[in-house]
Structure 1
Amino acid sequence: MNSTTRFKLSTMMFLEFFIWGSWFVTLGTFLGNNLKATGSESASVFGTQSWGAIIAPFIVGLIADRYFNAEKILGVLHLVGAILMYQMYNATDVSVFYPYVLGYMILFMPTLALVNSVSFNQMQDPEKEFSKIRVWGTIGWIIAGLLISFVFHWDSPEGIQSGLLKSTFLMAGIVSLALGLFSFTLPKTPPKVSSTEKIKVGDLIGLDALKLLKDKNFAIFFISAILICIPLAFYYQNAGLFLADIKVSNPTGKMAIGQISEALFLLAIPVFFSKYGFKKTILVGMLAWALRYVLFAFGNAGDLSFMLIIGIALHGVCYDFFFVSGQIYTNSKAGEKYKSSAQGLITLATYGVGMLIGFEVAGMITDTYKAANGAVDWKMVWIIPAGIAAAVFLLFAVLFNDKTKSEIEAKAL
């Protein structure tokens, strides 16, 4: 890959995740403080990510893979996304905000697959080259958080009080416009499938891979993956609001520690995987979810603030050790025939079904422990997902017993 192409792909990844990190981290805080949303209303808004994940395979599979170049579709989606972001910036009520965020997420979620498609199309050896490009996405997310907290101070108590937090949508919209225009300069990525080839809906969402559920151990992993998304949803929906509510300084910037951790622990997975195996790696990831929420439940913005920082820093273990290891496991179990279908099925099950359930549960629990004056009993809000993660940990520890462990690890590594 020449330096110009590498620069373009790195810039694409940086902007893609800068956009997402610009508004999604502070969304819960914005909904609760600016739009006065209830827990249930916040759950519906966050659930748009799941609907986007469910619909995304159809957009990519029916359009990008068959009729138009991926980079052109990427450009159009981000240009329309910029308009929707501006409408979200102007919204003053949840009922007005919701249709725009739903439309935006239906358009944005497919772009996550499209940026990967554009990147892979330019690589001779994706296993070695992709991480060097993808890391710029993580950097983009981190920079967005640092700008919000340490440069613009939009998430400070004063910024939230004066309504400046909505500026995150304006920033995301401007960058979305820039990426939309920039996308048309990216390397050409033509369709991979003939437009005359028969469409199989099952191929788009990975239904062919349902045959893998006949394997007891894969079925246990599949169910566990859906269930662990319930505590995951609590983090996405409530963490930013929680930190702002208890008056932690620069909360968005501090949450960027989670992305730094994610990048670092990604490098640790091969070592941990080879030494301890798949089951123990997954269990460590599950246990980390329970531990981080216990830390959130008992930490505070004062003398126990270190507990909150450790909880945020555990994001790398939580996410990488479960989800990335799970992708490796799925890849090794599926074999060549169902490799793509299996990954599609896991994505649909986790970011689609699992997260959709999780956001609803998180919203219900938050409303249950919110007093009439608006004060939230955050200790209970975090103890409950900690208990759910611990229960999933026990379920997986007792029932999962993969007899082909050595073969899977050999393939994965």
Structure 2
Amino acid sequence: MSAVAARLSIMMFLEFFIWGAWQVTAAKYLGLIGFTGDDIGWTYAVGPIAGMISPFFVGVVADRFMATEKVLGLLHLLGGVLMYLATRLMTGDSPSPFAINLMIFIYALTYFPTIALANSLAMHTMTDASKEFPRVRVFGTIGWIVAGITLAATGWGNTVGMFHLAAATAVLMGLYSFTLPHVPPPAKGQEVSIREILGLDALVLLRNRSFLVFLVSSFLICIPLAFYYQLAERTVTQAGIANPPFKMTFGQMSEIFFMLVMPWFFARLGVKWMLLAGMAAWVLRYTLFAIGAPEGIAWMIYLGVLLHGVCYDFFFVTGQIYTDMAAPAKIRAQAQGLLVLFTLGLGMCIGAIVAGRIERYYTPPQVQAMKEEAQATAARVEALEAAKLTGEAESTSSAELDAARAKLNEQTVAYLKLLDWRKIWGIPAVLAAVIMVIFALTFRDNGQRGAAASDGSG
């Protein structure tokens, strides 16, 4: 690996470490400070909303007025401050879900543009991005995995510590960004085209029935997909499985494996069957959770997590490849943006809100009192952690901290077990199955590059 590739790999590692430090485990802690299912739904919805807005910033400002590495650095520094301010709201006397979610939304507006900026910076410095970029991008997945391992090792998966970790890493990433290779504004001096930024030219692809079926199916399947990111870690927790933040990283480990073997499968299955395999994996995953979660059947839950590689690579990556094949060269970037808008934007946003409402509906009233008891224990854990970090802890405080963490875990498992997990997971399983059947019956792949814009019949 060259020196530049090593620097870019560190960039990707930090970029996704920040996200992985809180995305998977946030719901469990937020539930302890008074968040309802609806509140948590909005916590996970603001990210997709920010993701839909960020192309405006990248297209209008970042591409025209400042070097990429400087924008990247400034956004992460600002993001670190905003995330810290969010932790202050979380640890106040009466945490307000609305105020916290608003701060997380403002933070997300600084974070989500950095994903595209990091990708752009990396590709700009590469000779052959098609070969070099995957080797660098995999360090992003590794960063996500290491974040989960860090939470498990420190015990921060149940406390505000996860957000402190994200804030500190964001500041580190911000400072590191200024040392990255210089990338001048790629569109400096060019006219700003709102049509191009909105990706309106890519709408011509909707004339093709198969691409339209693919896009609508991708949008719909992302609604049940949101349940996984929002509820899976708590499903693992209530099953009594040790170190849930670490066990959730098994999904990213499988993602790396299936990314490596994906070319072999793609050559033999083709677009349609790859997409169907990804959808079928989601149906199977949610069915395993619906059956395994209420009974605490560990192997079913583990398998559901491990299926993440098939779910993500076979559907999302194949979808990106299909979009690239279907779109003419001049609108491929806009076509990819259209796909992201409908899936990780609209689909995930609606899915997060739906998942939150279903969680609230199937949460019994007695859970609230149990949450309040766990919240008191969580406050005790955070006080002991703060004393340990500042050197104020007594010699016996390590044992006391371990005991408090164990009590918090027991209380969390106890109230999470009361949720009706069979129905919570059964609903997205049925939704995914219906979408899969409709897609199988209506999608046709003609396999011709750039054909979607020219063939109106599908």
User: Following the alignment from structure 2 to structure 1, what is the Cα–Cα distance between the partners of residues 26 and 234?
Assistant: 8
Partner of 1:37: 35
Once the 2 structures are TM-superposed, how far is the Cα of residue 406 of structure 1 from its aligned partner?
6.4
1:252-291 deviation per Cα after TM superposition (whole angstroms, max 9, x unaligned): 1000000011111112221111101110000000000010
Distance verdict in 2 for CA 1:179–1:407, change over 3 Å? closer
**Which is greater in Rg?**
2
Aligned-partner residue type, residue 319 of structure 1: Y
Once the 2 structures are TM-superposed, how far is the Cα of residue 300 of structure 1 from its aligned partner?
4.2
Partner of 1:73: 71
Does 2:443 correspond to 1:400?
yes
Aligned-partner residue type, residue 131 of structure 2: K
1:66-87 deviation per Cα after TM superposition (whole angstroms, max 9, x unaligned): 1111110000000001101111
User: Following the alignment from structure 2 to structure 1, what is the Cα–Cα distance between the partners of residues 88 and 195?
Assistant: 39
Partner of 2:306: 313
Contact 1:72/1:183, CA 8 A, preserved across alignment: yes
Partner of 2:156: 154
Quick one: which of 233, 238, 241 aligns to 1:240? 233
User: Following the alignment from structure 2 to structure 1, what is the Cα–Cα distance between the partners of residues 164 and 89?
Assistant: 12
Partner of 1:111: 114
Quick one: which of 193, 197, 216 aligns to 2:187? 193
Once the 2 structures are TM-superposed, how far is the Cα of residue 88 of structure 1 from its aligned partner?
1.9
Partner of 1:172: 166
Q: TM-score, normalised by structure 2?
A: 0.84
Does 2:79 correspond to 1:85?
no
Partner of 2:408: none
Once the 2 structures are TM-superposed, how far is the Cα of residue 371 of structure 1 from its aligned partner?
0.9
Q: Secondary structure at the match of 1:247?
A: coil
Aligned-partner residue type, residue 405 of structure 1: G
Contact 1:64/1:191, CA 8 A, preserved across alignment: yes
Contact 2:294/2:420, CA 8 A, preserved across alignment: no
Question: Which runs of 5 or more residues in structure 1 are unaligned?
Answer: none
Contact 2:293/2:421, CA 8 A, preserved across alignment: no
Quick one: which of 194, 201, 204 aligns to 2:197? 204
Aligned-partner residue type, residue 424 of structure 2: V
1:1-16 → structure 2 map (5 Å cutoff):
3-16=2-15
Contact 1:233/1:355, CA 8 A, preserved across alignment: yes
Aligned-partner residue type, residue 276 of structure 1: L
Quick one: which of 120, 123, 128 aligns to 1:125? 128
Distance verdict in 2 for CA 1:99–1:406, change over 3 Å? closer
1:187-216 deviation per Cα after TM superposition (whole angstroms, max 9, x unaligned): 001111133x32222211322101100000
User: Following the alignment from structure 1 to structure 2, what is the Cα–Cα distance between the partners of residues 118 and 362?
Assistant: 35
Quick one: which of 311, 329, 338 aligns to 1:345? 338
User: Following the alignment from structure 2 to structure 1, what is the Cα–Cα distance between the partners of residues 117 and 365?
Assistant: 45
Partner of 2:393: none
Aligned-partner residue type, residue 211 of structure 1: V
Q: Secondary structure at the match of 2:299?
A: helix
User: Post-superposition, which runs of at least 4 consecutive aligned residues in structure 1 deviate over 4 A?
Assistant: 300-303, 406-409
User: Following the alignment from structure 1 to structure 2, what is the Cα–Cα distance between the partners of residues 202 and 103?
Assistant: 26
Partner of 1:62: 60
Once the 2 structures are TM-superposed, how far is the Cα of residue 242 of structure 1 from its aligned partner?
2.4
Q: Secondary structure at the match of 2:35?
A: coil
1:351-385 deviation per Cα after TM superposition (whole angstroms, max 9, x unaligned): 11111111111111111111111231011100100
Q: TM-score, normalised by structure 1?
A: 0.93
Once the 2 structures are TM-superposed, how far is the Cα of residue 301 of structure 1 from its aligned partner?
8.9
Contact 1:204/1:344, CA 8 A, preserved across alignment: no
Quick one: which of 48, 51, 76 aligns to 2:49? 51
Q: Secondary structure at the match of 2:341?
A: helix
1:160-186 deviation per Cα after TM superposition (whole angstroms, max 9, x unaligned): 3xxxx1101111111111110010010
Quick one: which of 249, 261, 265 aligns to 1:268? 261
Aligned-partner residue type, residue 41 of structure 1: D
Q: Secondary structure at the match of 2:327?
A: helix
Once the 2 structures are TM-superposed, how far is the Cα of residue 247 of structure 1 from its aligned partner?
3.0
User: Following the alignment from structure 2 to structure 1, what is the Cα–Cα distance between the partners of residues 200 and 60?
Assistant: 16
Aligned-partner residue type, residue 15 of structure 1: L
Does 2:243 correspond to 1:250?
yes
Contact 1:13/1:134, CA 8 A, preserved across alignment: yes
User: Following the alignment from structure 1 to structure 2, what is the Cα–Cα distance between the partners of residues 174 and 14?
Assistant: 14
Contact 1:247/1:301, CA 8 A, preserved across alignment: no
User: Following the alignment from structure 1 to structure 2, what is the Cα–Cα distance between the partners of residues 141 and 332?
Assistant: 30
User: Following the alignment from structure 1 to structure 2, what is the Cα–Cα distance between the partners of residues 274 and 83?
Assistant: 47
Once the 2 structures are TM-superposed, how far is the Cα of residue 408 of structure 1 from its aligned partner?
8.1
User: Following the alignment from structure 1 to structure 2, what is the Cα–Cα distance between the partners of residues 270 and 206?
Assistant: 29
Aligned-partner residue type, residue 109 of structure 2: I
Contact 1:269/1:325, CA 8 A, preserved across alignment: no
1:78-118 deviation per Cα after TM superposition (whole angstroms, max 9, x unaligned): 00011011112222321231121001111100000000011
Give the aligned CA root-mean-square deviation in angstroms.
1.6
Aligned-partner residue type, residue 178 of structure 2: F
1:272-291 → structure 2 map (5 Å cutoff):
272-291=265-284
Does 2:322 correspond to 1:329?
yes
Contact 2:67/2:184, CA 8 A, preserved across alignment: yes
User: Following the alignment from structure 1 to structure 2, what is the Cα–Cα distance between the partners of residues 301 and 358?
Assistant: 22
* Count of equivalent residues: 396
User: Following the alignment from structure 1 to structure 2, what is the Cα–Cα distance between the partners of residues 170 and 394?
Assistant: 44
Aligned-partner residue type, residue 142 of structure 1: I
